[in-house]
Structure formats: C-alpha cells, structure tokens
Amino acid sequence: MPFTQLRAVFASGDEEEPPAYECLSCGACFRVQRQVCPECGGYSIERTDWDR
C-alpha cells in the first residue's frame, strides 16, 4: 500500500463529529446529551437532526 493511501486510512479517523445536541434557549451546542444547559440553565435541549 503506498504511503499516501496509508495516510488517508489513518487520517480519516481524526475528524470530529459535529455537535448532536443544541439548547433551544441560547443556541449552545454539545456532543453529548445534557439535561440542563451549562450556558444558560435551560431545559430545552434537543438533537440537531430533528426537524423543528
């Protein structure tokens, strides 16, 4: 396997996932589900992929 292909295999795991949850009160984003927003104290935290 050429070096460029090998580098591409290992580099593909370095990308971070986009935030999956967002506070509807202040717009803060998180990768993990939270019950209370640490930014504003709001309770309206939903997945970003849900249709609103």
- Using alpha carbons only, give the angle 32, 45, 38 rounded to the nearest 5 degrees: 70
Range of the domain at 44: 17-52
pLDDT of residue 7: 61
Say if pTM beats, i.e. exceeds, 0.75. no
Q: Rounded CA gap, 20 and 30, in Å?
A: 6
Q: Where are the beta strands (DSSP E) in the chain?
A: 21-23, 29-30, 45-47
1-52, pLDDT tens digit by residue?
Answer: 465 655 665 665 545 677 899 999 999 999 998 999 999 999 999 998 875 5
The residue type found at 18 is P
CB of 21 closer than 8 Å to CB of 10: no
Please check whether residue 30 lies inside any domain of the structure. Answer: yes
Q: How many residues does the chain have?
A: 52
Residue 49: its pLDDT value, please?
Answer: 84
Question: Is residue 52 one of the residues assigned to a domain?
Answer: yes
Q: How many domains does the chain have?
A: 1
Residue 41: per-residue pLDDT: 95
